[in-house]
Amino acid sequence: MPMEKHHRNPMRALLAAGHIALLATAGCGTLSDRQIRLGDVDLTPASELVSVTIDPDRPVVLRALDGNLLADIQVSNRLRALSYVVAPGVHELWLSSAPYGQPLLPQRLKCYVLTASFKAEGKYRIAFDPDRQAPVLEAIGTGVQVLGVLVDSPFVFERECTWR
């Protein structure tokens, strides 16, 4: 009789497998895109707002808008693409590369400044261009591009970026 205790109930096994499959599929879904308001967007009519999305496949990190450092640093990824909402006009973006996950290898943080004029109701995308080794801002629909300029390249463990 002790052997019967070890036999699994087939119905119970199917239910457990179903729960695992449900958890696996629910856990693998993407999250909704995150929109973060920056600068004086509250003073701008909602119809004029500008959307700037960080490409999740070739991300850079937005560190500051017009010299004002962001409260927290976030990296756009395939699970959640980051979009920033800003007022139209000329803005200076401070961007950096994202350090890769191997802490023992010497890494440099690449720091860029990108200045661009953003049109009302415009949609823009920022992606790191490996051929040009710089972030590129592209106006979606027009193809107009603005290239970021490298301003600093410290070792990750040495210090943060110096923007000016």
Enumerate the domain spans of the chain: 34-152
Residue 89 token pair: 């006009």
How sure is the predictor about 71, in pLDDT bands with cuts at 50, 70 and 90? confident
3-state helix, strand, coil in the chain (%, to 5): 20, 35, 45
Alpha helical stretches, state H, the chain: 2-6, 10-27
Residue 3 token pair: 């052997």
The pLDDT tens digits of the residues spanning 3-39 come to 444 444 444 443 444 444 434 444 444 444 567 888 7
pLDDT of residue 111: 96
How sure is the predictor about 163, in pLDDT bands with cuts at 50, 70 and 90? confident
pTM above threshold 0.85: no
Is 67:92 a contact under the CB 8 Å cutoff? yes
Is 61:98 a contact under the CB 8 Å cutoff? yes
